[in-house]
Amino acid sequence: MADNDPTPRTPEDIRKSRNRVLALSLAAFVILVFFISIAKMS
Amino acid sequence: MSVTSPSSAQQLPADWRDLFALTKPRVMSLVIFTGLCGLLAAPERIHPVLAFTAILCIAMGAGGAAALNQWWEADLDAGMKRTANRPLPQGRLDRTTARDFGGVLCAASVFLMGFAISWLAAAILALSIAYYAVVYTMWLKPRTPQNIVIGGGAGAFPPLIGWVAATGHITLMPVVLFAIIFMWTPPHFWALALFVKSDYAKVGIPMMPVVAGEKSTRRQILAYAVLLLPLSVVPWWIGGTHGVYGISAIVLSTLFLALSVRVGLREKDGPEDTMKPEKQLFAYSVIYLFALFAALVVDRFVVI
């Protein structure tokens, strides 16, 4: 998949985009846990 | 998480897109769909957030099991044209990263399912992951041509998990849904194995066409398709669904049988044979499962 990129990506670019995805996933997980708690109480 | 590229010997971090590719997104879409259908077709409703969580857990479990599968089979994948472009054979990821990523996804999916939904659903999810990653990938696949028949159980779990997530218990209906996917798997995979036979032979995987020959595989495809037709109608017969599903199942399964008859009764016409009937059966088998489970959900909400 990464090989399909039109321009070669530097390790820094790859690390940045991976960390951004990880941060978004963790934020989504926290929000999900919040809503699960609400749903379990209702 | 880093990898040494075989071409440049330069340390590169693992790209998130390669990690995502490890989860076999296309296979996962079918898993998510059948799991969602099992959940929606169940007679009880759960909170939409919990329903979303249950499907997310099924997807994470399937993705984690797929990553473990690719971690274990990285060497085999490198030898097959169909799989040689995956991240591990290409050297874009190292095996330890793939193993850890798969393990974390699997563990997270089971615990989240247990805490948010039910521990019975979590136990079945854990069983399905172990069935695919250990029983099928590590044990059956390299040892027996019946690997797909027994291993097919792994892909049959999602509707059962979806149903149990919604109802909290196992009844006959989700077991029948499990059986339908179990029976569908051999003709689906063997149709594929017939036209990528040389790939499997090259890496020593004892797929049915490699071990028992094409003729026997074609007959067995036909046998499973014959059994699938009445089995697909069982949910209607036991009163679990209405006519929308029943008629859809008869039409879809009859077409499946017709395509299987064409594959089952023919012989390969030399090396120039493009294997069109086998490719058509494989493509239709995917549409078949989507359509059959879609009919199950439509039937739940539309009563004739």
The better pLDDT of the pair B31, B81 is held by: B31
Whole-number pLDDT of residue B304: 55
Quick check: B116 and B53 in contact, CB under 8 A? yes
Q: Does B26 touch chain A (CB under 8 A)?
A: no
Tell me, yes or no, whether B177 and B219 share the same domain.
Answer: yes
Give the model confidence (pLDDT) of B258-272 as tens digits. 999 999 998 877 777
Tell me, yes or no, whether B125 and B241 share the same domain.
Answer: no
* Inter-chain CB proximity B18 and A11 less than 8 Å: no
pLDDT of B75 above 80: yes
Of B16, B53, B90, the CB nearest to A21: B16
- DSSP labels for chain B? -EEE-TTT--EEEPPHHHHHHHT-HHHHHHHHHHHHHHHHHSSS---HHHHHHHHHHHHHHHHHHHHHHHHHTHHHHHT-TTTTTSTTTTTSS-HHHHHHHHHHHHHHHHHHHHHHT-HHHHHHHHHHHHIIIIIIIIIITTT-TTHHHHHHHHHHHHHHHHHHHHHSS--HHHHHHHHHHHHHHHHHHHHHHHHSHHHHHHHT---HHHHT-HHHHHHHHHHHHHHHHHHHHHHHHTTSS-HHHHHHHHHHHHHHHHHHHHHHT----STT---HHHHHHHHHHHHHHHHHHHHHHHHHH---
Whole-number pLDDT of residue B291: 96
Tell me, yes or no, whether B136 and B178 share the same domain.
Answer: no
The better pLDDT of the pair B122, B205 is held by: B122
Tell me, yes or no, whether B54 and B89 share the same domain.
Answer: yes
Tell me, yes or no, whether B22 and B159 share the same domain.
Answer: yes
In a domain, B232, yes or no: yes
Tell me, yes or no, whether B163 and B176 share the same domain.
Answer: no
Whole-number pLDDT of residue B82: 82
pLDDT of B163 above 90: yes
* Inter-chain CB proximity A18 and B116 less than 8 Å: no
Whole-number pLDDT of residue B8: 44
CA distances from B30 to B127, B157, B164, B199 (A): 19, 12, 18, 24
pLDDT band at B274 (very low <50, low <70, confident <90, very high): confident
Q: What mean pLDDT comes out for the span B273-294?
A: 93
Q: How many CB pairs under 8 A join A and B?
A: 49
Last residue of a domain, one of B134, B153, B170: B170
Cβ-Cβ contacts under 8 Å for B256 (sequence gap 6 or more): B187, B225, B228, B229, B284, B285, B288
In a domain, B11, yes or no: no
CA nearest B240: which of B289, B291, B293, B300? B300
* Inter-chain CB proximity B50 and A36 less than 8 Å: yes
Query: Which of chain B's residues have a Cβ under 8 Å away from the Cβ of A23?
Result: none
- What is the distance in angstroms between the Cα of B221 and the nearest Cα belonging to chain A? 34
Tell me, yes or no, whether B20 and B160 share the same domain.
Answer: yes
CATH number of the domain encompassing residue B249 = 1.20.120
Shortest CA distance from A22: residue in chain B: B16
In a domain, B98, yes or no: yes
In a domain, B10, yes or no: no
Give the model confidence (pLDDT) of B166-202 as tens digits. 999 999 999 999 999 999 999 999 999 888 777 777 7
Whole-number pLDDT of residue A2: 47
Whole-number pLDDT of residue B142: 85
Query: Which of chain B's residues have a Cβ under 8 Å away from the Cβ of A39?
Result: 47-50
pLDDT of A11 above 50: yes
In a domain, B8, yes or no: no
Residue A7 in 3-state DSSP? Answer: coil
Query: Which of chain B's residues have a Cβ under 8 Å away from the Cβ of A10?
Result: none
Last residue of a domain, one of B170, B199, B229: B170
Tell me, yes or no, whether B110 and B182 share the same domain.
Answer: no
Whole-number pLDDT of residue A5: 53
- Is the pTM here over 0.90, yes or no? no
Tell me, yes or no, whether B235 and B194 share the same domain.
Answer: yes
* Inter-chain CB proximity B13 and A22 less than 8 Å: no
- What is the distance in angstroms between the Cα of A2 and the nearest Cα belonging to chain B? 7
Beta-strand relationship, B2-4 and B11-13: antiparallel
Query: Which of chain A's residues have a Cβ under 8 Å away from the Cβ of B48?
Result: 39
In a domain, B2, yes or no: no
Tell me, yes or no, whether B144 and B231 share the same domain.
Answer: no
CA nearest B246: which of B184, B294, B295, B287? B295
Q: B247: how many CB neighbours lie within 10 A of its CB?
A: 15
Give the model confidence (pLDDT) of B16-70 as tens digits. 999 999 999 988 888 999 999 999 999 998 999 999 999 999 999 999 999 999 9
pLDDT of B303 above 70: no
Tell me, yes or no, whether B166 and B177 share the same domain.
Answer: no
Whole-number pLDDT of residue B155: 87
pLDDT of B230 above 70: yes
Tell me, yes or no, whether B60 and B131 share the same domain.
Answer: yes
Q: B204: how many CB neighbours lie within 10 A of its CB?
A: 10
Report the domain count for chain B. 2
pLDDT of B153 above 90: no
- What is the distance in angstroms between the Cα of B89 and the nearest Cα belonging to chain A? 13
What is the distance of C-alpha B119 from the center of its chain?
23
Average pLDDT, chain B: 90
Give the model confidence (pLDDT) of A19-42 as tens digits. 999 999 999 999 999 999 999 987
pLDDT of B7 above 50: no
Residue type, B90: Q
Of A18, A22, A39, the CB nearest to B15: A18
CATH number of the domain encompassing residue B57 = 1.10.357.140
pLDDT of B215 above 50: yes
Q: Which domain holds residue B41?
A: 16-170
Last residue of a domain, one of B151, B170, B189: B170
Whole-number pLDDT of residue B4: 42
Quick check: B108 and B115 in contact, CB under 8 A? no
pLDDT band at B76 (very low <50, low <70, confident <90, very high): confident
